[in-house]
A and B are shown apart, each in its own frame.
Chain A
């Protein structure tokens, strides 16, 4: 079996971001982390590989040398077998192009499962898995909270409004990982040492011979959230209820 898994870096949610002068991207000394949902996808890939002998796991990142660092230390150091970096300027790619890049990689690597984080916590778009499955014509299971393999089928439990849904997918397929899928392991010291020697190929988008490399989303502008307004102190419960009813319109 062969599993392709995502390793996307995202800006640290605790970092203070500054918006660039043209108002269309972030700038400054931004701290990055590995996307937490990608960590779940990586852990799921590792668990599947441990349970099924002869499974090869490949981590994919799209970006520059810094992204390569996250592939090596976030994925290869945890035990993923090898990595692929597709070089691109992160400011110029959108969810659709990322899905098409994975499509190109799927034709090239012929994986049985593509495991992605359900979304990246920076853009929060939640589109790549769904678009990719459509472009490939493969079955998909998003928001996975449990993954088992039975024969040529992948049994995926997914979190949906009001409960859990269980799907049986034939391989090859696309799965996106939710937070409760597993608890990601640490990149151990031994893993970090081994990761140095693992294969990490570098590709350009052109190498993938995609039919369409246009970005469909244009960032028109970015702005910081408006600061919280000062609160008011109410005299009594009646006034509170009145305000919640008439002004906030929540009751």
Chain B
């Protein structure tokens, strides 16, 4: 990535190298076993904090290290090299759980939660999606009713990354009437009575902890309200662009890995007396893959640059995420095809990436929802 990105400085490259070393030392040797075990060790959070992965992009006053969008891209790219989207999502779940808190929460709440999460001593998760609706945040059903100095929460959440073992959950609840204006965000500690969590089994992202959550009369102090009532949707908006750009960058990194692995295999694999890479049908496949990888790279860089300029490229981020995930579906499919049986058995990175393509075009705003949003933004 570094050589093809004109925006990177030696400092970005130094961080990339540190993360690459971290991935090679702490993740790559174990990721297969973690995937099969459907978890990864909690200690990995503290190790990731040591290299600065968790503090990146958060305010210094809360233990963070501000960094521009390129640091985030570098981090995503290097973490993706381990070839496990589940690990990336789980390890970095605080990047969607904390921004609303940092933007709207009281100082006391921020200081109580954010520093220990950024230090890797606590895990944070965001709980928005419900069984009755995914991207339709404005219609969520979980209710929080004020009772003296407390709120009482009733409802359920699904597909919550890091949900089972999170120490802190940023939960979207309805405190007011219907629509987006009635939605608030509440911080719920993992050990609150009335909070029940169960793990979900998935097509991919095996090592990621994904939870179904039930809130059954769960009581939290009123001071756990993030900002004031009705600001939930505003808080969540702080996530959208960062999360979607991150998913686009992940898709691009995975596509790049698929291409690299396919090329390496095609060079080695002999069929009917010739290396596979000398077969025109395979060469053309590789070129079609490379073309998409390059196009996604250019688009991700361009949108990231717009974000860095302080523009708010909402439509562009939607297009970018959809384009990147569609490209990955193509590239991963072709990569598995080129590897044949070797790409179908467990243990190959691309086998896992192939299983993970779908979650990227569903999570963080399903492709269809993003298309609708883009159409509105573009005035169509």
Query: Footprint of B on A, CB under 8 Å?
Result: 69, 72-73, 77, 185-193, 196
Chain A residues contacting B40 (CB-CB under 8 Å) are none
Q: Are B18 and A187 in contact, with the CB atoms below 8 A? A: yes
Q: Are A189 and B71 in contact, with the CB atoms below 8 A? A: yes
Q: Is B156 an interface residue (CB 8 A)?
A: no
Residue among A185, A186, A193 with most chain B CB within 10 A:
A186
Shortest distance from the beta carbon of A67 to any chain B beta carbon, whole Å? 13
Q: Are B14 and A192 in contact, with the CB atoms below 8 A? A: yes
Q: A73-B14, A196-B11 are in contact. Are A189 and B55 (CB under 8 A)?
A: yes
Query: Footprint of A on B, CB under 8 Å?
Result: 10-11, 14-15, 17-18, 21-22, 50-53, 55-56, 65, 67, 71
User: In the bound complex, how far is the Cα of B54 from the Cα of A188, in angstroms?
Assistant: 11
Supplied contacts A187-B18, A188-B52, A189-B67, 5 more A-B pairs, CB within 8 Å: A73-B17, A185-B50, A186-B50, A187-B17, A192-B15
Q: Are B11 and A193 in contact, with the CB atoms below 8 A? A: yes
Q: Are A189 and B51 in contact, with the CB atoms below 8 A? A: yes
Q: A191-B52, A192-B15 are in contact. Are A186 and B21 (CB under 8 A)?
A: yes
Q: Chain A interface mostly helix, strand, loop or mixed?
A: helix
Q: Are A190 and B22 in contact, with the CB atoms below 8 A? A: no
Which 10 interchain pairs have the tightest Cβ spacing? Answer: A189-B52, A73-B14, A188-B52, A186-B51, A186-B18, A190-B65, A187-B18, A189-B65, A192-B14, A192-B11
User: In the bound complex, how far is the Cα of B15 from the Cα of A66, in angstroms?
Assistant: 17
User: In the bound complex, how far is the Cα of B25 from the Cα of A185, in angstroms?
Assistant: 11
Chain B residues contacting A72 (CB-CB under 8 Å) are 10, 14
Chain B residues contacting A191 (CB-CB under 8 Å) are 52
Q: Are B11 and A188 in contact, with the CB atoms below 8 A? A: no
Residue among B17, B50, B56, B71 with most chain A CB within 10 A:
B17
User: In the bound complex, how far is the Cα of B21 from the Cα of A189, in angstroms?
Assistant: 13
User: In the bound complex, how far is the Cα of B219 from the Cα of A104, in angstroms?
Assistant: 69
User: In the bound complex, how far is the Cα of B76 from the Cα of A173, in angstroms?
Assistant: 44
Q: Are B22 and A189 in contact, with the CB atoms below 8 A? A: no
Chain B residues contacting A186 (CB-CB under 8 Å) are 18, 21-22, 50-52
Chain A residues contacting B51 (CB-CB under 8 Å) are 186, 188-189
Q: Are B10 and A188 in contact, with the CB atoms below 8 A? A: no
Q: Are A193 and B65 in contact, with the CB atoms below 8 A? A: yes
Q: Are B55 and A77 in contact, with the CB atoms below 8 A? A: no
User: In the bound complex, how far is the Cα of B11 from the Cα of A48, in angstroms?
Assistant: 26
Chain A residues contacting B14 (CB-CB under 8 Å) are 72-73, 77, 187, 192
A189 closest partner in B (C-beta): B52
Chain B residues contacting A188 (CB-CB under 8 Å) are 18, 50-52
Chain A residues contacting B15 (CB-CB under 8 Å) are 187, 189, 192
A190 closest partner in B (C-beta): B65
Q: A69-B10, A186-B50 are in contact. Are A192 and B55 (CB under 8 A)?
A: no
Chain B residues contacting A190 (CB-CB under 8 Å) are 52, 55, 65
Chain A residues contacting B18 (CB-CB under 8 Å) are 77, 186-189, 192
Shortest distance from the beta carbon of A66 to any chain B beta carbon, whole Å? 10
Chain B residues contacting A73 (CB-CB under 8 Å) are 10-11, 14, 17
Chain A residues contacting B22 (CB-CB under 8 Å) are 186
Shortest distance from the beta carbon of B320 to any chain A beta carbon, whole Å? 25
Shortest distance from the beta carbon of A186 to any chain B beta carbon, whole Å? 4
Shortest distance from the beta carbon of B56 to any chain A beta carbon, whole Å? 6
Q: List 10 A-B contacts (CB under 8 A).
A: A69-B10, A73-B17, A77-B14, A186-B21, A186-B22, A186-B52, A188-B18, A189-B55, A192-B15, A193-B67
Residue among B18, B56, B65, B71 with most chain A CB within 10 A:
B18
User: In the bound complex, how far is the Cα of B104 from the Cα of A112, in angstroms?
Assistant: 51
Chain A residues contacting B21 (CB-CB under 8 Å) are 186
Chain B residues contacting A69 (CB-CB under 8 Å) are 10
A34 closest partner in B (C-beta): B17
Shortest distance from the beta carbon of B110 to any chain A beta carbon, whole Å? 19
Chain A residues contacting B56 (CB-CB under 8 Å) are 189
A185 closest partner in B (C-beta): B50
User: In the bound complex, how far is the Cα of B15 from the Cα of A56, in angstroms?
Assistant: 25
User: In the bound complex, how far is the Cα of B15 from the Cα of A189, in angstroms?
Assistant: 6
User: In the bound complex, how far is the Cα of B18 from the Cα of A72, in angstroms?
Assistant: 13
User: In the bound complex, how far is the Cα of B52 from the Cα of A57, in angstroms?
Assistant: 22
Shortest distance from the beta carbon of A10 to any chain B beta carbon, whole Å? 14
